[in-house]
Amino acid sequence: MTMSLSILDMASALAGHAADRQRVIAGNVANADTPGFRARDLPDFATLYRADAGFALRATRPGHLAMPAGASAQAMIEANVMGAESPNGNTVSLEDQMIRAAQARQQHDLALGVFANSLSILRSSIGRAR
């Protein structure tokens, strides 16, 4: 019997996106005082999930470098916040980054909730209680 567990694939992708986004936000906060640094973010999960389906990196020439393990294939975008640019050209707003970090945490918590509920349903379906 074959079961389609695409909900678990989606939850896994959401957790990965949240982790990647948290990594980008941490980089923004670390560079909050760097002159000329532009704040970055990832596109939202909804637009990336379907676009990433079936996308795989491949080397088309011998000189191409492989993507390092753990690196994200998602393209970063510049995070524009009105009035956040300082005189030295830095666009990191710590308040905005805290809000973005909270949103990433909510995404991660949602993914964990989906995993927990899906596993509970699977356990119930095979007759095993928690």
- Among 80, 100, 111, which residue's Cα sits nearest to residue 27? 100
The per-residue pLDDT for range 67-107, each reduced to its tens digit, is: 444 444 457 788 777 667 888 889 999 999 999 999 999 99
pLDDT at 122 over 80: yes
**DSSP line for 3-57:** ---HHHHHHHHHHHHHHHHHHHHHHHHHTTTSTT---EEPPPHHHHHHHHTT---
Mean pLDDT of 51-76: 54
Which residue type occupies 125? S
First-to-last alpha carbon distance for the chain, in angstroms, is 23
Q: What is the pTM of this model?
A: 0.72
